[in-house]
Structure 1
Amino acid sequence: MSIPTALSFFNSTSPYTTTEIYVNISLAPPAYPCEDWPPVPMTTLIPSIYSIICVLGTIGNALALSVLAHGSASRRTVANTFMLNLCMSDLLFLLSLPLWAVYYSRGYSWPFGWVACKICGALHNLNLYASIFFITCMSMDRYLAIVHPLRSQSARDPKRARLTCILVWVLAFVCTAPTLALRDIQHIPVLDVEACVIFYPDHTWYLTLAIIKIVLAFLLPLLVISCCYCAIGRHLLADTGLVRMQNPSHTPSMPSFKSLESKESCGTPERPPTPCVNPSSSGGRPLEGRGLERVLWTVAAVVLAFFLCWFPFHCVTFLDVLKSEGWLDGCWINWTIQNLTPLTLCLGFSNSAINPILYCFIGNHFRGRLGGLCKGLCASCLKARGEDHSQKRGSFSTRLSSFSRKLSDLKDLAIVEASGPA
């Protein structure tokens, strides 16, 4: 039986999850043949998307992790601590994407064994929760640093940030534990494959875990992030006097954006530029002009990236919940859930590749430190090559000198022998 023409097996009432295996078959019951709704070729499309995300995300997070890990003790700030853990979470998950790409390319046949199925499934859900939790922590840290820079100095302590990261990892593991326990390799008769799926004991398990995922991994973080950045935007606009900025005659002298970005109490080089009040210049007024515009656009990019990457997936998951309760039905809902779920999940995974761009490479100082690290590596390579070349030259000179001495000794011996008695 071919995949496109197979009857419904992974429907919402099945104990197998529809949001984890994404089998490319028609979900419609016999009353709804859905012949006019062709399936998306998942076995070729998904592996290609996963490969692109894996390559770009691994490079970006590896570079960000290298810069953050090689920073001096003075650079180990609250923002850097959260960013370091976020990169670790994204990188761990991205390393498992090649296995999922192979899984899709083989028609949902898992060839890597039970242990790999458990680990890869755990990394998937762990990253789903941990990355969003760390983004939320970074948003709250920015809110405190910009809106309450003085009152939050004691709270924004690197030691407390490390403790917060530990709590985030623990919370993410707790949220991942149910799916880790339920994930297993199951034989799918309709496809004749051994699939790595989540096997729910009953519908209550599916409904509960789906709601937890929507609430904890999207709605609550989105609410906190939006509130933080809305407060940041109001604070910046109120303190700078946006109306006066539009008046060409009002051009107050402001500190440079780079000087503001370098201050720990204001913005850190590893995160998108954050303005602050510089009491030593411009009468303690915050950044204006192009600097403010850049900050506001960066803030908007953070929220939009999070929303655009994860909203479609959670929206389709919610549609699946409604269908499982019998509130929605028909070909369009079946096709949407079956075909858009894996595609929207790819979009969510792309957030792991976008994160280092938003939180690291936008910062001027971060790019400078990355350039310095690359120059240092190049200098080390050139120095090593130079030393190796010098050693080779020295070795050649030594061999030449030894050969010259031997030649001289032979010449002297020949002279002695020639001058001896006949």
Structure 2
Amino acid sequence: IDNDNDDTVTMNNTSCPSISFDFYRRFLPAAYILVFIIGLAANVWGLKSLLQNWRTLKIISVFVLNLGFTDILYLVTLPFLMVYYFMDSKWIFGDIFCKITRFCFNLNLYGTIGFLTCISVSRYLAVVHPIRVMGRITVTHAKAVSVMVWLLVGVQSLPDMFYTKTIGNTTEKCFETTSEAHVEDYLKYSLGWTFTGFCIPFLITVGCYGHIAVVLWTMKTTNEIKKERVLSLLFILILLFSVCYIPYHLLKNLNLWSRVLSKRKICHKWADRVFIAHQISRGLVCLNGALNPLIYFHGNRDIPAQLRQLLQRARQTVMCPSITQSQNTLT
């Protein structure tokens, strides 16, 4: 993902202060490497655990499984972005693959938001309307809803691929949004996309968990373990939305508006700060690939036990050579 801003913008025969790109060229590669290592390991392990119990899959597990697939789809593109930055922001993989990389990011971002919303609605129905939905909503329904989410996210993300992602006849740059020539149209598209792909799901999620909280606190007979599980999932969702999604959408559209003003030769002192803040939000939004596996821990009680066993085995593997070496030294 590269900057979509010009270094300087002329206004009344003067130039706006130039925007420094040094920060994001150091920050984003480090964020991508961290997310790739942690996210890939955690998602592969979580998906493996879910697929091993495929026959006993629950409704919420179907959504968690699709959540993992969206992460894998994005994580496999990160090595190409790493190469991009290591080569001083020069894209060598062609215009088509640049668009595919952007498309995978958008599928991950809005697919994650969509499946988190499905998980929230599922928990809402199970807690607030358990008698009404008991036996009526099945795994088959969850699979059908998952297909609809993929289709909806694909339709929302597809127009992005028709915007220019490179400069002229060269493919040295791979824009996150589009070139300066189409920035005004892209801002309109981005605002509509933000409303349908983020704001509506966010309001549904807040509404579901707000009602769940009221029900749990007014029902004295509610199981304490059930309360803790719902609260833990609520904490994960608050973490994802507050760290990853809200700053990204707010700053992305604000940065696009800054570029529109710059194109109209209107300079603002805050343009540099908005640009830097947007780059930080881009690093944070990719963290969802590493944070989403927290849902696995919530949805599968066996995973914490498996993690403890894995850590114990790793410890034994490290300790055994040391013990053997000590015994050899003594003999």
Identify whether the pair has TM-score above 0.5, normalized to the shorter chain.
yes
Q: 1:373 to 1:176 in 2, by over 3 A?
A: farther
Partner of 1:175: 156
Residue among 139, 161, 181 paired with 2:142: 161
Which residue is 2:231 aligned to?
296
Please state if 1:365 is matched with 2:330.
no
Write the distance in 1 (CA, Å) between the matches of 2:180 and 2:163: 7
Q: 1: distance between equivalents of 2:187 and 2:52?
A: 44
Kept after mapping to 2: 8 A contact 1:39/1:335:
no
Q: Which residue of 2 aligns with 1:11?
A: none
Residue in structure 2 matching 1:344, options 272, 276, 281 = 281
Once residues 129 and 305 of structure 1 are traced to their aligned partners in structure 2, the CA distance between those partners, rounded to angstroms, is: 13
Equivalent in 56, 66, 75 of residue 38 of structure 2: 56
Match 1:146 to one of 90, 111, 127: 127
- In the alignment, residue 155 of structure 2 is paired with which amino acid? V
Q: With structure 1 as the length reference, what TM-score do the two structures score?
A: 0.65
8 Å Cα contact 1:108/1:193 also seen in 2: no
Percent identical = 26
TM-superposed CA distance for 1:216, in Å, is 2.1
In the TM superposition, residue 129 of structure 1 has moved relative to its aligned partner by: 1.4
Counterpart residue type for residue 47 of structure 2: L
Contact 1:93–1:123 (CA<8 Å) still a contact in 2?
Answer: yes
Q: Which residue of 2 aligns with 1:318?
A: 253
Residue 84 of structure 2: aligned partner:
103
2:249 aligned counterpart, secondary structure: helix
CA 1:152/1:354 → structure 2, altered by over 3 Å: closer, same or farther?
A: same
Counterpart of 1:224 in structure 2 is 204
Distance 1:300 1:194 in 2: 41
Shift of 1:143: 0.5
How do 1:23-422 and structure 2 match up within 5 A?
26-29=7-10, 31=14, 33-34=16-17, 39-74=21-56, 76-187=57-168, 194-197=172-175, 198-199=178-179, 202-240=182-220, 285-288=221-224, 292-293=227-228, 295-323=230-258, 326=261, 330-357=267-294, 359-362=295-298, 365-367=301-303, 370=306
Between the aligned partners of 2:79 and 2:92, the Cα distance in structure 1 is 13
Deviation at 1:372, TM superposition (A): 10
Deviation at 1:32, TM superposition (A): 5.3
SS in 2 for 1:41: helix
- Deviation at 1:156? 2.5
Looking at structure 1, the residues matched to 9 and 82 of structure 2 have their Cα atoms a distance apart, in angstroms, of: 26
Q: Aligned partners of 1:99 and 1:129: how far apart in 2?
A: 21
Between structure 1 and structure 2, the one with the greater Rg is: 1
Question: Relative contact order (alpha carbons < 8 A, sep ≥ 6): 1 or 2 greater?
Answer: 2
Which aligned segments of 4 or more residues in structure 1 are displaced greater than 6 angstroms?
372-375
Q: What CA distance in whole angstroms lies between the structure 1 residues aligned with 2:140 and 2:123?
A: 17
Q: How many pairs align?
A: 307
**Is the helix fraction higher in 1 or 2?**
2
Segments of structure 1 that go 5 or more residues without pairing to the other structure are 1-19, 241-284, 379-422
Q: How has the CA–CA distance of structure 1 residues 199 and 222 changed in structure 2, closer, same or farther, with 3 Å as cutoff?
A: same
Partner of 1:390: none
Q: Normalised by the size of structure 2, how large is the TM-score? A: 0.81
Kindly state the Cα deviation for residue 69 of structure 1 after the two structures are TM-superposed.
0.9
Give CA-to-partner distance per residue, 1:147-182, whole Å, 9 cap, x none: 111111244210011011111111111111111222
How far, CA to CA, are the matches of 1:366 and 1:61 in structure 2? 15
Residues 332, 342 of structure 1: CA spacing in aligned structure 2 closer, same or farther, 3 A cutoff? same
Consecutive unaligned residues of structure 2, counting only runs of 5 or more, are: 315-331
- Amino acid corresponding to residue 221 of structure 1 in structure 2: P
